[in-house]
Structures are given as structure tokens and as C-alpha cells.
Amino acid sequence: MILNQEIRKALQTVGGGGSVVYLTTASKEGIPNIVGERFVSVFRNEYIFIAEMFAQKTRVNIHENPHGVITMVHPLRGRTWTFTGPITILQEGYPDDYVWEGLKASDALDEWGNWALKEPPSEVPPDIRPPVLVQRGIIALKVDSITSFDPDSVGKSL
Amino acid sequence: MAILSPRMKNWLEGLGGHIATANKQGIPLVVVTTSAEIINDENVRFPLSTQQVDYIKDNIDENPIVAIGIGGIGSIRAAYQFKGIANLESNQLSVNITEIYCTKPGPEAGLRLDILPLESVIKFEETRWKDNGPPK
């Protein structure tokens, strides 16, 4: 699914606190896990990237049950978007030609493997900024569907 | 049993949460509320629309375990994750909180708070955040 310009822009907000989303995964037994994520971007109009910064439970869940849900937090203003799709973690060590869901790992890592360098978190207030931005890889979600989380139209395809 | 700190209660009550459910096969569904009612130290109630009830009812019937992150600016300013057992009562989702985690990025991410004495949790919060709830 191709993400339109409005979505791409909202997920790549620079300044004003940047974009914030919640990432939901679940264990294979169905125990959900939800974590707020600040380092978010869109890649090639169909993947949402999140910096993988040692989110242990998320990592375990993704490996055993690769279904992800991303819900929009900021900037919201009517953007009640839920993105759903297969999810993985890309990190150094994969073969150069490793491809996941049409995405070449080396292409992703070349561009977003060093988030701190590409998009320094200088605007994030010190009390909520990670002490050191240590990135292990990229969490990549291929968007299969976009639905609303508006209470009156939750689940409605957008 | 997990005890909510006053700060956690204030943030939950003020901004509600993103509530993650999953079926037994591990397929997640999320509903979002903008408020919550604190019942007591370990129970919270979220108002849901009829559509939200319909959306998650099968999941809750099959698997009542939920995970909750605080909505809006709370996603960053109040970096907690609550896990609990949910029960749908008409248009409200009641959650008995069983686990509380810190999700502040960095070495404290994933720190389990509900196993600490409440005084220690409050001290932990006071040394990391200046607020005691969302901005008025």
C-alpha cells in the first residue's frame, strides 16, 4: 500500500517535537505489548521505519510473531490512523542481498542505520531524551492497511 | 497486584490511552480513548463507543490480556506501559492492572515498576520527571 503525501509528512515531522507513534506487537500466545516511539520515518512510500533501540520485548515479539500495529499520536489533529502489516527488524549482519517484503536490508540500513546522525534528537527535551541514542537496527513495518481509530469509525478502512 | 502511583493515575485519567488487545493467535487490535476513570489503586475503567466495543469484543472474550500506553503527550512524558486483565461491561472496558513497566528510552526501558514498593516508585518518578500529571 502506498502512503500518500499527507501521511508521509505527518510521519516525518521535523521540529515541534517530531512524530510520535505507538507500536503494538504481541507474543505468539497473544500477550500484547505497546510502546511509544519517537524516531519514526517513512521509507519508499510503503514502509514505516522506527529506530530499534533495545526494545527487548518488542524484539522478541517481532521475531516470534511478525504482526505489527502502529497508531498515530503526534501530530494528531484528526489523523486517527492505524497502520497494520508485517513487521521485522533489520540490522547489520544480514547478507548484502537480503530482501524482506521487497525491501533490501542494506538499502534501509544505509539510509536509516544511524538515526542520530541523519536526524539528531536535538529538539527532544533532556528529561525525555535517551541519555545516549544507541541504535541496534531498524524496525520496519510494511503497511498493508490503514484504518481509523476514531471511536465512531474504528476499523474503517481509510 | 500492581499499584498505580498518583502520577500514573493523573496521566491516565487526563489523557486515556492506546489500548492494545490481541486474539489468541497474536493478531493485535488497538482502540484509543481520551480519558479514563480511576476506580482504585489497581483498577481503571475506559469509556468506549459502541463501535470500539464491537471492534475488540471478540479479542477480549478470547484473550482478556491488554497492554496500555498513555495517550497524547503522555506517550512521551509519561512513559509507562500497563498490562492487565480486561473485562467489557456495557460500553466500558474495566482493567485490573497487573504489571507496570517504565518505557522511558534508554537503560530504564522495560524496568518493571509494580514489583517495587510504592514509595520507591514515587521516588523514581520524582527524580525523572518534574510533573505530576498532564498540563492543565
* Domain assignment present for A28: yes
Helix, strand or coil for residue A116?
helix
* CA distances for A110 relative to A90, A107, A132, angstroms: 11, 5, 21
pLDDT digits (tens, 9 = 90+) for A114-155: 988 888 766 666 666 666 777 889 999 999 999 999 999 999
pLDDT of residue A16: 58
- Domain containing A83 — which CATH number? 2.30.110.10
In angstroms, the CA A114 to CA A58 distance is 20
The answer to whether B23 and A29 have CB atoms below 8 angstroms apart is: no
The answer to whether B29 and B67 have CB atoms below 8 angstroms apart is: no
* Domain assignment present for A139: yes
Which chain B residues contact residue A38 at CB under 8 A? Answer: 76, 105
pLDDT digits (tens, 9 = 90+) for B22-35: 999 999 999 999 99
Which chain A residues contact residue B66 at CB under 8 A? Answer: 32
What total of structural domains would you count in chain A?
1
* Domain assignment present for A15: yes
In this structure, what DSSP letter does residue B105 have?
Answer: S
Domain interval for residue A133 = 5-151
pLDDT digits (tens, 9 = 90+) for B1-59: 899 999 999 999 999 999 999 999 999 999 999 999 999 999 999 999 999 999 999 99
Task: Check A36 against B103: CB less than 8 A apart.
Answer: yes
* Domain assignment present for A20: yes
* Domain assignment present for A157: no
pLDDT along chain A (158 residues), means of 10: 92 74 97 94 95 89 98 89 97 90 95 86 67 84 97 96
Which chain B residues contact residue A132 at CB under 8 A? Answer: 106
Cell of B63: 484473550
pLDDT of residue A134: 79
pTM equals: 0.95
Residue in A55, A53, A61 with CA at minimum distance from that of residue A113: A53
* Domain assignment present for A78: yes
pLDDT of residue B107: 80
Helix axes B6-15, B118-128, angle to 10 degrees: 70
Task: Check B20 against A69: CB less than 8 A apart.
Answer: yes
* Domain assignment present for A128: yes
Strand partners, A140: A49, A88
Question: How many Cα atoms occupy the beta-carbon half-sphere of A124 within 13 Å?
Answer: 23
